[in-house]
Amino acid sequence: MKLRTLVTAVSLLVTSQFAFADRFADVQINSATLAKDIYMLTGAGGNMAAVTTADSVLLIDSQYVELADKIRAKLKTLSPGELTTLINTHMHGDHVGGNAALAANADIIAHVNVLTRLRNDSNFNPAGLPKTTFDKVLNIKHGNIELMLEPMPASHTDGDILVWFPQFNIVHMGDLMFQGRFPYIDFGNGGNVQQYIENTRYVLQRIDDNTQVIPGHGDLTNKAGLAKELKMMEQTMAQVVAWRAEGLTEQQMIDRGLGEQFNAWHWNFITEARWIKTLYQATQP
Ligand SMILES: [Zn+2]
């Protein structure tokens, strides 16, 4: 190996290791105002929301522990108050990773199945475990702002909730919506594609053209965006059902592909092949 090649190889190695260690270095936490004292926050991982009063903050989801300082700093720009309440939309690491770092002294509210699953996860810091759990609709208030926490039948996981802001026509869907991309169905934690589609229909019946929809991932959206997602799921599901009737194997389905009209839904986590596998598994006779 020539010296120059060796130097290049070594520097590439160093660069890639550094990039891995520092994967959150460039992440910024941004906020968008959805209504007075209600914000959507983005960084890396699941979209968050915050509700503020002059002396307290309620947060929905906590992204990753590595981002806790940045999240805390962003919240300070919205209200000088302490974080008093954290709601988790479900149990995935990109939604609960910052729980202990941000909210060890706050109330942490989640579906009872979130507590069960996180308690069984030896890597999860117990200081971040939910303290208030529920499995039926729970209404709470932060300042004058009402929140309705609604558990949904198992679909993304078995502990998903919708967080409604009935006074403001806003809903945080957690990972019951992936805006503009194939959704992740976590079969190992109770996921179910047919129910995910049912849950999407359920939400569509309860919102109107002015509803602001916070998805678990992707941009702030609305009823039209959710309807588009539903149509994609219905069409791709119908395709896999038809292929099954033709007798295609999973690999043959992946080789055929869903077609150009679905290219835009493909992303690094749920690729087109992974979505086809998800639908294949969901349509097991
Ligand atoms: Zn998730």
Please indicate, yes or no, if residue 5 is contained in any of the structural domains: no
Say how many Å lie between the CA of residue 8 and the centre of ligand 1.
39
Residue type at 225 in one-letter notation? G
Q: Which amino acid, one-letter code, is at 164?
A: W
Mean pLDDT of the chain: 94
Q: How far is CA 171 from CA 89, 191, 221, 260, in A?
A: 12, 21, 10, 31
Separation of 215 CA from ligand 1 center, angstroms?
A: 11
Domain carrying residue 159: 24-282
Give the C-alpha separation, 146 to 156, whole Å.
25
- For 50, the 3-state DSSP assignment is strand
Does residue 12 surpass a pLDDT of 80? no
What is the residue type of 84?
A: T
Whole-number Å distance, alpha carbon 175 to ligand 1 midpoint, is 5
> Tens of pLDDT along 194-217?
999 999 999 999 999 999 999 999
CA angle 219, 222, 227 (to 5 degrees): 105
Distance of CA 189 from the midpoint of ligand 1 (Å): 10
Question: What CA–CA distance (Å, rounded) separates 275 from 178?
Answer: 13
Report yes or no on 34 lying in a domain: yes
CATH code, domain carrying 111: 3.60.15.10
* 211 found inside a domain: yes
CB neighbourhood size of 4 (10 A): 8
pLDDT at 214: 98
d(CA 187, CA 156): 8
Distance 156 CA to ligand 1 centre (A): 7
Q: For residue 55, how far is its CA from the centre of ligand 1 (angstroms)?
A: 31
Nearest CA among 269, 261, 256 for reference residue 218:
269
Q: In this structure, is residue 275 part of a structural domain?
A: yes
User: Does residue 10 sit within a domain?
Assistant: no
Over its C-alpha atoms, the chain yields an Rg (Å, rounded) of 21
Whether the predicted pLDDT of 11 surpasses 60? no
Note whether residue 1 is domain-resident: no
Taking residues 51-66, report their average pLDDT: 97
CA 56 / ligand 1 centre spacing (Å):
27
List, for residues 150-182, the tens digit of each pLDDT value: 999 999 999 999 999 999 999 999 999 999 999
Summary count for the chain: helices (H), strands (E):
9, 12
**CA–CA distances in Å: residue 206 to residues 150, 170, 203, 238:** 13, 11, 5, 25
Give distance in angstroms: CA of 242 to centre of ligand 1: 29
> What is the reported pLDDT for 242?
98
Give me ligand 1 centre to Cα 89, in Å: 8
Q: Report, as an integer, the average pLDDT of 242-251.
A: 98
> Is it the case that residue 1 has pLDDT exceeding 50?
no
List CB-based neighbours of ion ligand 1 within 5 Å: 92, 175
Q: What is the pLDDT of residue 51?
A: 98
Residue 50 within a domain:
yes
128 belongs to a structural domain: yes
Task: With cut-offs at 50, 70 and 90, classify the pLDDT of residue 227.
Answer: very high
Distance (Å, whole) CA 124 – CA 120? 8
What gap in Å lies between CA 59 and CA 12, rounded to an integer?
Answer: 39
Q: How many domains does the chain have?
A: 1
191 CA from centroid of ligand 1 (Å): 10
Q: Range with the lowest mean pLDDT among 12-16, 125-129, 158-162, 263-267? A: 12-16
DSSP assigned state of 207: -
Q: How far is the CA of 217 from the centre of ligand 1 (A)?
A: 9
pLDDT digits (tens, 9 = 90+) for 94-124: 999 999 999 999 999 999 999 999 999 999 9
Closest residue by Cα to residue 114 from 99, 92, 94: 92
- How far is ligand 1, taken at its centre, from the CA of residue 253, in Å? 26
Confidence check: pLDDT of 133 > 80: yes
Q: What is the pLDDT of residue 4?
A: 54
Distance CA(104)–CA(131), nearest Å, equals 10
Cα 87 to ligand 1 centroid, rounded to whole Å = 14
- Give the model's confidence band at 23: pLDDT under 50 very low, under 70 low, under 90 confident, else very high: confident
pLDDT digits (tens, 9 = 90+) for 71-81: 999 999 999 99
